[in-house]
Amino acid sequence: MTQLRQAKKGIITPEMEYVAKKEEIDVEKLRKYIASGKVVIPKNNTTNTLPTGIGKDLHTKINANIGSSTEMEDIDTELEKLDILVKYGADAVMDLSTGPKLHEIRKKIRERTNIPLGTVPIYEAGVETTKTGKAIVDMDDDTIFKTITNQAKEGIDFITVHCGINQDAIEAVGDSERIMGIVSRGGALTAAWIMHNERENPLYKEFDYLLEICREYDVTLSLGDGLRPGCTNDATDIAQVRELTTLGRLVKRSRAANVQVMVEGPGHVPITQVKSNMQIQKTICDDAPFYVLGPLVTDIAPGYDHITAAIGGSIAGASGADFLCYVTPAEHLCIPNKEHVKQGVIASKIAAEVSDIAKQIPSALKKEHEMAVARDNFDWEKQFELAIDGETAREYYESAKTSDEEMCSMCGDFCAIKMVKDHEKK
């Protein structure tokens, strides 16, 4: 029985109790949110995945992507990235591997961590299709659903599926004035399949079958935004909104089938449109948890897109987004290395903290207060303990440490706090 089904029946599960305690929220209130679909706990019912709540009145969560490509594959490196993202506070991980050893990588990730694990099954289905000598667009329906079933059996907790890419959505792209068209890998693959085969998207047409698989294993659906804007020029256009309306209908079908569901969002969005994008999604999708990539608020910062995403993510989270997908400095440029992963996670954690302050999450406000007191008391150890990246904070402080431990080298004798405290003592 899924978490959603049990919540509807009035049952409080051990997972709900765990999340309620961690989030410092009344467990009955949490159950009601889950029953209404406003909170999800992505946890395959065959695994010991750490119960993690995503949605209304909970801390803003972050996801970090790792995985091999056809051009670069090193299992040890991917596992080192996994250790880094867990260390710096990622709440979930997605394996986007497309290399030959994708099965082995996913298995080792599952064995190495208990945070929720997500995938994009269409990637693996494409790899399996090419192994038979066929082009990806010649993929058959059975391969897609077999891949999803196998991943569910392996213990995947949530899957991104581009069910909103249908024939109507592709027509909307053609009618739009987009510069970049479809930039989502899964969305582009699905669109190419539809156009090549002149058939409807199997994940849309056979959505009930997909729900049947997910219900059996309590796999949470993450309805992918295949038509997310790839540049600020393309944001909030008719194609993006039309796909979102389709996803809104699929959210209702998922909930009716007792399958947990969240919705993915843009993309590249001007800063003035971020809040409205969150409001549109929450309205159309009936407050389903919103999972956003960024959004990136400018297109001209390659090498620093973790910063542009953190800016957009802060506004998105403050405006209702529940789950932030990290963006690394390598976005648009190359497969991220270990340092890129660290920087991406930290930037996303900052955005999540900014969001939680705006949402008035009590424990976030408490930490902010504790940091203020620690700074006022020159309690450096407490500051390092509270910091998102305490190691780097300590390293900077000790690199130019003063003889007076009540000061840092930034202001020295002109420290504002110290001058006032010294005067008060006199």
pLDDT at residue 87 tops 90:
yes
* CA–CA distance, 252 with 250 (Å, rounded to integer): 5
Once rounded to an integer, what is the mean pLDDT over residues 337-357?
A: 98
CB count within 10 Å of CB 255 equals 18
Strand partners, 293: 325
Note whether 371 and 270 are same-domain residues. Answer: no
Question: DSSP string spanning 244-256?
Answer: HHHHHHHHHHHHH
Kindly give the pairing relationship between strand 54-55 and strand 39-40: antiparallel
Express each pLDDT in 133-152 by its tens digit. 999 999 999 999 999 999 99
- Residue 87 corresponds to which amino acid? K
Q: Which of 334, 359, 384 is the last residue of a domain?
A: 359
Q: In a 3-state reduction of DSSP, which class is residue 308?
A: helix
Note whether 220 and 141 are same-domain residues. Answer: yes
pLDDT at residue 189 tops 80:
yes
Q: How many domains does the chain have?
A: 2
* CA–CA distance, 250 with 197 (Å, rounded to integer): 23
Q: Which of 304, 335, 359 is the last residue of a domain?
A: 359
Model pLDDT, residue 348: 98
Note whether 249 and 115 are same-domain residues. Answer: yes
Model pLDDT, residue 96: 96
pTM: 0.96
Express each pLDDT in 91-130 by its tens digit. 999 999 999 999 999 999 999 999 999 999 999 999 999 9
Note whether 287 and 315 are same-domain residues. Answer: yes
Note whether 76 and 40 are same-domain residues. Answer: yes
pLDDT at residue 339 tops 70:
yes
- CA angle (194 as vertex; 190, 200 as ends), nearest 5: 105
Top pLDDT among 13 and 412 is at 13
Burial grade of 76 (CB within 10 A; 0-12, 13-18, 19 or more): exposed
Top pLDDT among 71 and 362 is at 362
Express each pLDDT in 275-308 by its tens digit. 999 999 999 999 999 999 999 999 999 999 999 9
CATH number at residue 191: 3.20.20.540
Note whether 230 and 336 are same-domain residues. Answer: yes
Once rounded to an integer, what is the mean pLDDT over residues 246-265?
A: 98
Note whether 310 and 367 are same-domain residues. Answer: no
- CA angle (258 as vertex; 257, 261 as ends), nearest 5: 100
Once rounded to an integer, what is the mean pLDDT over residues 170-179?
A: 91
The H or E element containing residue 274 is helix 274-284
Note whether 122 and 243 are same-domain residues. Answer: yes
Task: Tell me the CA distances in angstroms from 36 to 5, 225, 254, 325, one per residue in order.
Answer: 10, 22, 12, 24
Whether residue 224 contacts residue 161, with contact meaning beta carbons closer than 8 Å, is answered with yes
Model pLDDT, residue 347: 98
Model pLDDT, residue 320: 97
Whether residue 175 contacts residue 238, with contact meaning beta carbons closer than 8 Å, is answered with yes
Domain around 368: 363-425
pLDDT at residue 33 tops 70:
yes
Task: Tell me the CA distances in angstroms from 228 to 39, 236, 247, one per residue in order.
Answer: 23, 9, 13
Note whether 275 and 187 are same-domain residues. Answer: yes
Note whether 256 and 398 are same-domain residues. Answer: no
Give the CB-side neighbour count of residue 115, counting CA atoms within 13 A: 20
Note whether 418 and 328 are same-domain residues. Answer: no
Task: Tell me the CA distances in angstroms from 365 to 322, 355, 388, one per residue in order.
Answer: 17, 11, 15
* CA–CA distance, 193 with 200 (Å, rounded to integer): 9
Percent of the chain with pLDDT over 70: 100
Express each pLDDT in 349-374 by its tens digit. 999 999 999 999 999 999 999 999 99
Place of tokens 């900077």: 396
Express each pLDDT in 221-238 by its tens digit. 999 999 999 999 999 999
- Confidence tier at 426 by pLDDT (50, 70, 90): low
Express each pLDDT in 328-337 by its tens digit. 999 999 999 9
Q: In a 3-state reduction of DSSP, which class is residue 221?
A: strand
For residue 63, report the phi and psi dihedrals to the nearest 5 degrees. Answer: -115, 145
Whether residue 159 contacts residue 203, with contact meaning beta carbons closer than 8 Å, is answered with no
Note whether 313 and 373 are same-domain residues. Answer: no
Q: Which of 359, 391, 412 is the last residue of a domain?
A: 359
The H or E element containing residue 383 is helix 380-386
Model pLDDT, residue 409: 80
Mean pLDDT over each residue of the chain, to the nearest integer? 95
Model pLDDT, residue 258: 98
Percent of the chain with pLDDT over 90: 92
Instruction: Choose among 223, 299, 212, 243: nearest CA to 37.
Output: 223
Whether residue 325 contacts residue 74, with contact meaning beta carbons closer than 8 Å, is answered with no
